[in-house]
């Protein structure tokens, strides 16, 4: 319980997480910890459906519903991190992300590396990218140490609301 209160203290205190050390020099810096649960809410509908994301070493599972145990599977994405961040065979981040990088098939472009803001708070080091032709279509934001904090699917923007 103390650990949960400590983890939530930045949210309870000021609505922003503590700064994360590191510069985000490697794609793996932008990945969530294995086994991390994250919940996302629609940006334009905070009381709307909840998406749950479970990050595992080789796949990310998304479910929609009020609780993980009761939620329906929405998507399963394969993840590779040996040569950057590859989602369902599309490279989203190269091994060493930098602003202006464009994937070989031009389906991903890093628009910025720096501060990014979402519902949960402001993230001091994040990669903001634009993607097309993958399960993620539009703007995506990956924060150092947390992974996805904003993503778009089917024209809908989802923002991080909670993680553990």
The per-residue pLDDT for range 12-26, each reduced to its tens digit, is: 344 444 434 456 789
Question: Is 0.75 surpassed by the pTM of this model?
Answer: yes
Asked if 40 contacts 151 with a C-beta cutoff of 8 angstroms, the reply is: yes
Model pLDDT, residue 154 = 81
pLDDT of residue 119: 85
Helix (H) or strand (E) holding 80: strand 72-80
All residue ranges of the chain with pLDDT < 50 are 1-21
Q: What is the 3-state secondary structure (H, E, C) of 2-69?
A: HHHHHHHHHHHHCCCCCCCCCCCCCHHHHCCCCCCEEEEEECCCCCCCCEEEEECCCEEEEEECCCHH
Q: Where are the domains of the chain?
A: 2-163
Predicted confidence at residue 153, as pLDDT, reads: 85
């Amino acid at each position: 319980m103390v650990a949960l209160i400590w983890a939530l203290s930045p949210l309870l205190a000021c609505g922003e997480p503590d700064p994360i050390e590191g510069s985000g020099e490697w794609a793996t810096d932008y990945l969530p910890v294995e086994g991390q649960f994250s919940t996302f809410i629609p940006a334009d509908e905070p009381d709307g459906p909840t998406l749950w994301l479970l990050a595992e070493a080789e796949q990310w599972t998304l479910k929609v519903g009020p609780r993980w145990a009761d939620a329906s599977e929405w998507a399963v994405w394969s993840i590779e991190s040996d040569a950057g961040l590859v989602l369902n065979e599309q490279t989203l981040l190269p091994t060493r992300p930098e602003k202006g990088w464009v994937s070989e098939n031009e389906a991903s472009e890093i628009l910025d590396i720096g501060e990014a803001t979402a519902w949960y708070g402001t993230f001091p080091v994040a990669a903001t990218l634009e993607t097309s032709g993958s399960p993620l279509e539009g703007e995506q934001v990956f924060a150092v140490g947390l992974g996805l904090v904003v993503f778009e699917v089917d024209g809908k923007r989802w923002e991080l609301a909670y993680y553990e």
